[in-house]
Structure 1
Amino acid sequence: MTLHRSLLAASLIATAAVVSVPSAHAADTLGGNPVPGVCMLSREAVFAQAKVGQAASERLGQLAQQARTQLDDQRKPLDTDLQNFQQKAPSLSEAQRKQQGEALQQRMQAYQTQAGELNQRIQLTRAKAMQRIGQEAEPIVASVYKSHQCGLLLDRDSVLGGNMANDLTGEVVQGLDRKITTLSFNLEPLPAAQGK
């Protein structure tokens, strides 16, 4: 049951990572003068605020829910068989207990392997969706960077304080929304095992 819960938690974390929005302009409270040529961008906020990022997050949530449902459907008969085995174990011979116990253990290991594989597939799918959004955003970032005459681009989420006059995030989100609003994808397959 712990592995099933860890898959659920990982799925939720993966989904939440797409939509988490850092406290916008938290660094703006210190103010100060804008530094010419120094611009900032919050990649996380772009992914969270752009329509395509929201669509990707929603799709990842659907895929994670499908994976949880699939695992639940497989876990229920396994749990029933485990309970039945525990109830009748005292009346079985040692050989029968060993044989049935080993069979149940193999089924549990197969279930845990599948849960781990589904978790990996969700993570791969998330990474590929984020990569695709990043590729779509790249020329927009370059254009906005050039139009603001930036000489240096910093990660806004890593800045402790300062003037946010040259924060490109909003313009990049708008540009991305004009370019793409949705993304279609399914669970990625696991990469082929090495050496096969």
Structure 2
Amino acid sequence: MNLRRPLLVVSLLAAAGLAVTPVAPVQAAPAQGADALGGNPVPGVCMLSREAVFANAKVGQAASRHLKQLADQAKSQLDTQRAPLQKDVQAFQQKAQSLSEAQRKQQGQALQQRMEAFQTQASELNDRIQLTRSKVMERIGQDAEPVVASAYKSHHCGLLLNRDSVLGGNVQNDLTAEVIQGLDRKITTMSFNLEPLPKQSGK
């Protein structure tokens, strides 16, 4: 059972920097009518919504909020650096006609280098947020695994299906709510910082 896919937090690189929006809570119980097909429960067949576990467990919600805070801080740093760069670009555009060709070329290249460095930094921060999100989801998945295993065993399951991909049927053995409750009893929050990017070989 692999619960380690990053499912909770989305990181976006916006024009002004970075913005992370928390994922809206997913129903812990199947939606109304999900079991409309009815039928008898299938012995040994159980279901679990990983998305609902990550979105509704307290630790997942806490991680989402904290990652958004880290992203907002990164965005604020980028905004602070972006403002003087924009000011210098505007000043260059205004005085460009009065400069010699050599001066325009020299100052233009210098501004271009600064812009490229800023864009690289913004991209690296976005990559760090994505990497951090993945690491956090892996940690939550590791904490959830024994909870899932316990519920799986107590319900005498022989097969665990992703509830979100099941079209319909008897949902008597849906472990999602039980796993959320078990995970909440085990852990409710976690602390972490933005992960550094791995060093590239040869650099």
Between the aligned partners of 2:82 and 2:108, the Cα distance in structure 1 is 16
Cα separation, partners in 2 of 1:164 and 1:5, compared to 1, 3 Å: farther
Large movers: runs of 4+ above 4 Å: none
Alpha-carbon distance in 2 for matches of 1:23, 1:160: 16
- Residue type of the alignment partner of 2:45: V
Output one character per residue of 1:105-159: Cα deviation in whole Å (capped at 9) or x when no partner.
0000000000000000000000000000000000010000000000000011111
Deviations 1:150-180 (A, max 9, x none): 0000011111111211110000001000000
CA distance in 2, matches of 1:123, 1:131: 12
Q: Secondary structure at the match of 2:164?
A: helix
The share of aligned pairs that are identical, in percent, is: 74
| d(CA) in 2 for partners of 1:102, 1:28 | 64
Structure 1, gaps ≥5 residues long: none
In 2, Cα distance between the equivalents of 1:67 and 1:142? 38
1:22-171 aligned at under 5 Å gives the runs: 24-26=29-31, 27-171=34-178
TM-score w.r.t. the length of structure 2 is: 0.88
Name the counterpart of 1:21. Answer: 26
Letter in 1 for 2:194: L
User: Are the equivalent residues in 2 in contact too, given 1:37–1:151 (CA < 8 A)?
Assistant: yes
The alpha-carbon deviation at position 77 of structure 1 amounts to: 0.5
Look up the match of 1:182: 189
CA contact (8 A) 2:29 2:176 kept: no
Structure 2 SS opposite 1:8: strand
Cα distance change of structure 1 residues 125 and 115 upon mapping to structure 2, 3 Å threshold: same
Deviation at 1:31, TM superposition (A): 2.6
Contact 2:132 2:194 survives alignment (8 Å): yes
How far does residue 5 in structure 1 lie from its aligned partner after superposition? Answer: 2.7
The structural deviation recorded for 1:194 is 1.9
Cα pair distance change 1:4/1:159, threshold 3 Å: same
Using the TM superposition, name which of 66-75 and 130-139 deviates more. Answer: 66-75
The number of equivalent residue pairs is: 189
Instruction: Name the CA shift for 1:91/1:121 in 2 (closer, same or farther; >3 Å).
Output: same
Listed as ranges, the gaps of 5+ residues in structure 2 are 1-12
Distance 1:163 1:102, change over 3 A: same
In structure 2, distance between residues paired with 1:20 and 1:100: 50
- Look up the SS of the partner of 1:139 in the other structure: helix
Q: CA deviation at 1:57?
A: 0.5
**Structure 2 contact 58–188 (Cα < 8 Å) conserved:** yes
Aligned AA (2:200): A
Distance 1:110 1:42, change over 3 A: same
Give the root-mean-square deviation of aligned CA atoms: 1.7
Q: Which amino acid aligns with 1:25?
A: P
Identify, as 1 or 2, the structure richer in helix.
1
Cα gap change, 1:160/1:7 in structure 2, threshold over 3 Å: closer, same or farther? farther
CA 1:96–1:193: 2 relative to 1, 3 Å? same
How much does 1:29 deviate? 3.2
